[in-house]
A and B are shown apart, each in its own frame.
Chain A
Amino acid sequence: MTVDAPIRPAQSFDDATTPARRRGGGPRESVMSRTAAMVIMGAFTLYFLVPIFWLLVSSTKTLDNFNSSAALWFSPTSAQDFVGNVGRLFTYNDGIFPRWMLNSIVYATVAGALGTILSAMCGYALAKYRFWGREALFNIFLGGVLVPATALALPLFLIFSKVELTDTFWAVFLPSIVSPFGVYLSRIYAASSVPDEIVEAARIDGSSELRTFFTVAIRLMSPALVTVFLFQFVAIWNNFFLPLVMLRSQELFPVTLGLYTWNSNVSQYPELRTLVLVGALVSIVPLLVAFLSLQRFWRSGLGSGGLK
């Protein structure tokens, strides 16, 4: 993986569907291969979407009609049951669930945003300045990409317990800021999207290096930084092992760990089953919306990840 390879020109996914791209001459595809393609994709659409649909339907069931009504369709009382379920979800145990959602949002957005800025600064410096030890430093950071997060969680716990910071907000927040992958992506983006001439011109105009970065470079890098942020946001939102190891107090849990603990108590408290399912649905809705609406930003990140 050579990092300095030029990034390929941005290309929209939707180009593939425009007539200009693929409707040149050549024979038409046979009806059979068209049908086969549609059947394959149709079948797998069911595979990918039915579980999510089932979750949606289940969240409209009460404990009583969970088993008695059709599992994959709504019951006559679905609308009011759904409202009731959500109401109980948000009030159960003094509103611990909204607290978990809020925690997840804070961990993921604040640590993600902070991490993105630090990664952008570091990646920019690695791309735009020549200095002794630059490549060595970059390779160390790149090595960090291959270090599994789970391998870090346990020693981090031991270190945090020395300074008595386990079971605090900081125990999950601070390690989440560091994203070596973000530095890797930022360096590629800075190299390809911030021309040296612009940096030089800013210097001639008397702008300081920092000011050049925060007013000029960061704007040129901004589409890419959204990608870096998305990657880190998802990584933090999905991180389960670190909070599992670090946290004991329920009010610090992210939503994943909270639902996990609820689900482990389902056999003693059956009413939790409905709450787990409604909670699961509520917890993925913001992510689904963010994902699908920001999907074009994945393109550039995933595309540049594929550089050889």
Chain B
Amino acid sequence: MTQTAAEPAVVAPPSPRPTRPRKPFRYRKAIAIFIVPFAALFAAFYLTPILYAVFQSLQKVEREGTFGAPTQVFGGLSQYALVFQNTEFWSSIGRVLLFGVVQVPVMLLLALLFALLLDSPLLRGKRFFRLAFFAPYAVPGVIAAIMWGYLYSPSLSPFSAVTSRAGLLDGGTVLWAVANVVTWVFVGYNMLIIYSSLLAIPTEIYEAARLDGASQWRIAVAIKIPLVVPAIVLTAVFSVIGTLQLLTEPLVFRQFTSTISSTFTPNMLVYSTSSVPNFNLAAAFSVVLAVATFILSIGFLRLTQRKADQ
């Protein structure tokens, strides 16, 4: 930014001394007015809760005798020891990992397939398909889960001939019943991310291949897919975060079936622990879960970045 003669009156920059190694802020006041409102709310509703959760997780409740008043004292890492000894915690983690390993690839492969078809000359009525596939994203998770809860129900479903026998909400399949709801809502959204990335590829890149008689399939595999890898990575990261946070859909399904325990997913475990109430342990669960999410998503980004560089 070049120094101009007409300095706005609102900013009162102290005359910069050339001897100083760092220039003082110009437009200091304006920058503060722009940034402070968001930064203050961010500090209040993001940073403070995170720090408070860490603080809570390092506390424990002690009682004097059986009926004494509870007091909160420093507990070190004792809550974290309880977290890692908790079998329900591990089984809920195992459950969402299994869910993620199956559901995320299936959903992203479908999204990629739809995006490629929308981008190919094979289809008619693209606008209709795009809208139809995106529509479920407008349905909030709670509503989607209630809807599918009825559709799965052995007696109330319009497909009761199938659902009364299949037992979709039984212990063995209920996880996949949840996976289907999540897939239904998010495929179209991911499809649009990949599709807008496909639209950004200049046509010339595969014009030559077309003229040489390459099939759409060949063009997709050899040219298009490698170019949209960044978009796929992005959708994968958001899906992984979403999977670890799984809460709404299984919580709603508890209204339809008894096969979902109150500790079915890590977040449900946090919720049920906090309603005991045992806030210190719940906070420790939250912290472990947030750190795991952070590491997984950063790790995934790094891993795919490295592969792309090779």
Contacts and interface: CB of A to CB of B under 8 A. Distances in A.
Contact of B135 (A27, A72, A292): A292
A76 interface: no
B248 A241 contact: yes
A98 B218 CA distance: 53
B197 A303 contact: yes
A204 B42 contact: no
Give 9 closest A-B pairs by Cβ, nearest first: A71-B158, A209-B30, A125-B34, A308-B230, A155-B49, A26-B210, A306-B231, A37-B122, A122-B38
Interface string A265-308: 01000000000110010011001101110010011001101111
Contacts of A177: 41, 45
Contacts of A58: 150
Interface stretch (B74-82, B101-109, B110-118, B170-178): B110-118
Given A151-B289, A277-B150, A263 B130 contact: no
Contacts of B93: none
19 contacts: A16-B126, A24-B211, A26-B211, A48-B135, A52-B136, A121-B35, A121-B38, A146-B298, A154-B279, A157-B274, A174-B45, A178-B41, A203-B6, A213-B34, A283-B143, A284-B143, A292-B131, A302-B193, A306-B230
A147 B50 contact: yes
Contacts, number: 310
Interface string B274-289: 1000010011001101
Contacts of A124: 34
B118 to A, nearest CB: 7
B197 A306 contact: yes
Given A51-B136, A125-B31, A178-B42, 9 more contacts: A14-B127, A54-B147, A54-B158, A129-B30, A155-B53, A178-B45, A205-B6, A283-B140, A284-B140
B56 interface: yes
B258 to A, nearest CB: 12
A89 B25 CA distance: 58
Nearest to B204: A24
B25 to A, nearest CB: 5
Interface string B174-188: 000000000010011
A13 B120 CA distance: 13
Interface in B82-139: 110, 113-114, 117-124, 126-127, 129-139
A136 interface: no
B129 A45 contact: yes
Interface string B243-256: 01101100010010
A89 B217 CA distance: 51
Among B123, B142, B217, B293, chain A packs the most CB atoms within 10 A around the CB of B142
B264 interface: no
B69 interface: no
B225 interface: no
A16 B119 contact: yes
Nearest to A124: B34
Contacts of A216: none
A47 B185 CA distance: 11
A29 B146 contact: no
A295 B134 contact: yes
Given A206-B8, A280-B146, A41 B282 contact: no
Contacts of B66: none
Contacts of B143: 256, 259, 280, 283-284
Interface string B133-175: 1111111111100111111000111100000000000000000
Contacts of A207: 8
A240 interface: yes
Contact residues of A: prevailing secondary structure: helix
Given A23-B121, A49-B132, A155-B49, A305 B37 contact: no
Interface residues of A, number: 112
Among B28, B149, B270, chain A packs the most CB atoms within 10 A around the CB of B270
Contacts of B73: none
Contact of A34 (B122, B245, B248, B279): B122
Among B2, B7, B195, chain A packs the most CB atoms within 10 A around the CB of B195
Given A40-B117, A151-B290, A237-B140, A51 B27 contact: no
B39 A305 contact: no
B49 A156 contact: yes
Given A146-B297, A154-B282, A280-B146, A17 B127 contact: yes
A11 B141 contact: no
Among A41, A71, A177, A208, chain B packs the most CB atoms within 10 A around the CB of A41
A204 B4 contact: yes
Contacts of B194: 306
Contacts of B195: 13
B221 interface: no
B270 to A, nearest CB: 6
Contacts of B282: 154
B199 interface: yes
B139 A26 contact: no
A150 B247 contact: yes
A22 B193 contact: no
Contacts of A299: 192, 196
Contact of A155 (B30, B56, B137, B200): B56
